[in-house]
Structure 1
């Protein structure tokens, strides 16, 4: 059976492929793209925070509230950027396709 840590490490490769694809496609709203990259920041912060929690507190990251909350803040910010990016793109598309902007 594969460990959860190994599965987590392996899962980064498809995500990096996803980031490469959406970055090169130029179809992703820029703000949403920043949010997806922000997820990597979350991972980059979570790993050392988890190690610190294990070494210093002898606990899992989820059991050290101030560390866990700090790490989750970056995931929350990433999610907000993704939502705002798509919201802005939908709003622009609706404005572009509104009856006032269409040619008769």
Structure 2
């Protein structure tokens, strides 16, 4: 059976592929793209924070509140960027449709 750490590490490869494809897409809202990259930053912060929690406190990251909360801030910011990016794109599309209707 595969360990959760190995599965986590392996899951980075499909995500990196996802980032590669959406980075080349002209349809991905720029702010949402930054959010998806921010998720990668979250992973980059979480790994050393988890190691620190284990070495310094002898506990899992989830059990060291100040470290866990600090790492989760990056995920929260990334999610906010994703939502705002898609919200902005939907708003622009609605404005474009309304403008086209007015010109008919």
Partners of 1:12 and 1:101 in 2: CA distance = 42
TM-score between the two structures when normalised by the length of structure 1: 0.97
Query: TM-score, with normalisation over the residues of structure 2?
Result: 0.97
Q: Matches of 2:92 and 2:100 in 1, distance apart?
A: 12
4+ residue segments displaced more than 6 Å:
none
CA displacement at 1:58 relative to structure 2: 0.3
Alignment size in residue pairs: 103
Structure 1 portions without partners, runs of 5+: none
Question: Secondary structure in 2 aligned to 1:86?
Answer: helix
Deviations 1:46-91 (A, max 9, x none): 0000000000000000000000000000000000000000000000
Distance in structure 2 (CA, Å) of the matches to 1:79 and 1:25: 20
1:50 aligns with 2:57: no
- The answer on 1:69 being equivalent to 2:69 is yes
Task: For 1:82 and 1:74, locate their aligned partners in 2 and report how far apart those are by CA, in whole Å.
Answer: 12
How much does 1:39 deviate?
0.3
2:93 is matched with: 93
* Equivalent residue number for residue 41 of structure 2: 41
What displacement does 1:25 show?
1.2
CA shift, 1:26, in A, is 1.6
Structure 2: runs of 5+ lacking an equivalent: none
**Alignment partner, residue 19 of structure 2:** 19
